[in-house]
Structure 1
Amino acid sequence: MGKTMKIVVLLGGNSEERDVSLASGAQVANGLRENGHDVVSLDPAHGLVGLSEEEELLSGSLPRTPSLESQNVSPSMKLSEHLDTLNEADIVFPVLHGGVGENGTIQALLDLLGVPYVGSDLLGCAIAMNKDVTKKLLRSANIATPDWILANTVEEVMEVLDLPIIYKPVDGGSSVGITMVTNKGSMEESLQNSFRHNSLFMCEAFVPGRELTVGIVGRDTLPVGEIISKHEIFDYECKYRPEMADEIFPAEIDEETSRKVSQIALEVHGLLNLRDFSRIDFILDEQGTPWCLEANTLPGMTANSLLPKAAEAAGFSFQEFCERLLLIANDRID
């Protein structure tokens, strides 16, 4: 292990992925603390997280914090009360999923404060969080990605795509809100629901095949993984209920395919201006073509998450993996 550092782990936040972030952040904080670091956990939406609350999270419970709606506050308001905590840190480790934690807002704040942090910066986070922008960049670089459209009516969608289609938020993560649409009626219902919530959704061509994922750490790829979902698509339930999907590391694919997918993942990582670590998701179709779906700048770090499983397949314990990410960021900063 390197030098002992004072680290602030950011977890929680106010997005729909708050629960996943709390679980991920508690795991990371515990891993770094076991490595001998001085770790403080900070929830942008509620403030400092105590050790007893972390223990609840590690045991699978959620901390007893009041709802965000009842307080009528934004995460930035709570975070502004703890600027001294951030400024005193040697480095910040964001483990926030979705919303301001992953779209570049928190990263911009840390940049303004001059506080170093693990992971991608404002630009990389903003690009990767917006699936429409991501796919436009992929297409411009001749990287295969399924056809898609941002549409307001069923007619607009049907002019471009055939059923079934994948309906997903443009700026969501953890597979929140992703559904497969198989008929015009359910598509109309999905569109109306997005209008009610003032949300931006996209329709994407469904590509049948095998779901693959590639973790990137520094300039290296981790073993390619395969997700075999009990549902037609790898949705939120399958991602966070272990019995709903088999996650195989390394994937049972030939060496040439593994090398090809890994190389494309590295290209995507660079194209989107990502740094330190990421996870890139693919569909491998029946002809052996990898179709890039999206990039994740802050992948889940729970016991059931894909990136730690890939790291384990590469020979890293969870504590070693956290330390590796910390050292990569620290070397970049130095």
Structure 2
Amino acid sequence: MPRELFAPVLGYEGALEMKIVVLAGGLSTERDVSFKSGDMVARALRRKGHQVLLLDVFMGYGDAECDISDIFDRAEEVSVRVEDIPKTAPDIAAIRAGRKDQSKTFFGPNVIAICQAADIVFMALHGADGENGKVQAAFDLFGIQYTGNSYLPCAIAMDKGVAKTFFTAYGIPTPSGITLEKEERQDAAKKAKIHYPCVVKPACGGSSVGVTIVEDPGRLEEALDEAFYWEDEVVIEEYIKGREFSVGVMEDQVLPVIEIAPIRGFYDFKNKYAAGSAVETCPADLPQETSRLMQKYAADVCKALGLTTYSRQDFLLDESGRIFCLEANTLPGMTPTSLLPQEEAVLGMSYDDLCEEIIRISLKKYQK
């Protein structure tokens, strides 16, 4: 990225080195994935010459009385150490129990103060309390600058049932479905006239955790048990048999379509993050008109939900050539197997440059 384009957005006349918090972890099912994204982003931004601290939003740093005045001088030393992504979702109860101060506050010790001392927070959070707008809203109140979209578009996109309503209103095709609350599951499931096969998934989950493809009525209760284990609200939608695709959008630029073809099963947690579990092709092998229509729908999703910085939309293409939008991701993954970096690479942008570009376009919302 040309540095002369970067400086004016940052508001710096001379030094371009920034103090950056890469915020990761949290209490979602995507906690471990978030750390992997955060670790890669932190390394990339350090290579660009910035002072970067990788911080766990839930565990925080030190005790409440800890001196953090020189923390960016010790950024690499105190950053979270990251291992490979496990094959299963994290034990959230054990993580809660492991916090030293046992506070009920989502933000760990010193998180807000450290983020306030940074020039910007790079949001590497994924899943609930990372992508649902709550952290973004809190940061707005604390005067903390952060990457990605503002709180309201994040909240809308995170709830798959609500997002479907917006898709339909804007003419974006999406699988038909219903939303169920835990307390109404018995009556509502019977009245919904569900057709099989169908898909049952947590309304605000990510990385396909808790998702089940249900072939017949006898498996529905088991699938609901699995989805309700993770959340109190689930979506039941029609199953679309077809090919899986994703389309990233960076500000006003729609990226090339990427196809994801799992070697076995569907694009679940394991296939998303285990190397060699899926074949990813970018640009996707599609007729030009199909690619263009899918890209148009990706841009339409941004307009419908109010996404202005960067995002990634997931699609299915059925056997008759119909396109269906599944969801919008407001903080796309940045792991070794993530899709957005692969799409940008096709256009010639390196991973390191992509991380700085996300900061550059995100800072624009603070110039208004």
TM, length-normalised to structure 1: 0.91
Give 1:117's aligned residue: 146
Structure 1 residues 10-159: aligned runs within 5 Å: 10-48=23-61, 51=76, 56-57=81-82, 60=84, 67-71=95-99, 72-74=102-104, 76-78=106-108, 81-151=110-180, 152-153=185-186, 156=189, 159=192
Write the distance in 2 (CA, Å) between the matches of 1:252 and 1:157.
41
Question: Post-superposition shift, 1:122?
Answer: 0.8
Q: What is the one-letter code of the residue matched to 2:84?
A: G
Q: Which of the numbers 9, 12, 19 marks the counterpart of 1:6?
A: 19
Structure with the greater alpha carbon radius of gyration:
2
Q: Give the match's secondary structure for 1:153.
A: helix
Contact 1:211 1:228 in 2 (8 A): yes
Write the distance in 2 (CA, Å) between the matches of 1:245 and 1:148.
27
Write the distance in 2 (CA, Å) between the matches of 1:188 and 1:55.
40
1:103-141 residue CA offsets vs partner (Å, 9 max, x unmatched): 111101110011221101110110010000000111111
Identity of aligned residues (%): 39
For the structure 1 residues 10 and 74, does the alpha-carbon distance in structure 2 shift closer, same or farther, using more than 3 Å as the test? farther
| Structural RMSD (CA) | 2.2
Q: Give the match's secondary structure for 1:226.
A: strand
Q: Say yes or no: does 1:181 pair with 2:181.
A: no
Q: Give the match's secondary structure for 1:215.
A: strand
Consecutive unaligned residues of structure 2, counting only runs of 5 or more, are 7-15, 63-74, 87-93
Q: Give the match's secondary structure for 2:129.
A: helix
Q: Give the match's secondary structure for 1:60.
A: coil
For the structure 1 residues 196 and 256, does the alpha-carbon distance in structure 2 shift closer, same or farther, using more than 3 Å as the test? closer
Write the distance in 2 (CA, Å) between the matches of 1:282 and 1:125.
19
Contact 1:45 1:74 in 2 (8 A): no
Q: What is the one-letter code of the residue matched to 1:18?
A: R
Consecutive unaligned residues of structure 1, counting only runs of 5 or more, are none
Contact 2:131 2:331 in 1 (8 A): yes
Count, aligned residues = 329
Contact 1:167 1:180 in 2 (8 A): yes
For the structure 1 residues 190 and 60, does the alpha-carbon distance in structure 2 shift closer, same or farther, using more than 3 Å as the test? closer
Question: Post-superposition shift, 1:157?
Answer: 5.6
Q: Give the match's secondary structure for 1:67.
A: helix
Give 1:290's aligned residue: 323
Q: Say yes or no: does 1:240 pair with 2:240.
A: no
Q: Which of the numbers 337, 352, 361 marks the counterpart of 1:328?
A: 361
1:215-262 residue CA offsets vs partner (Å, 9 max, x unmatched): 111110111000111344211111111222111111011211111111
Question: Post-superposition shift, 1:150?
Answer: 2.2
1:43-77 residue CA offsets vs partner (Å, 9 max, x unmatched): 111114963676842x6379xxx832233444624
TM, length-normalised to structure 2: 0.83
Q: What is the one-letter code of the residue matched to 1:254?
A: P
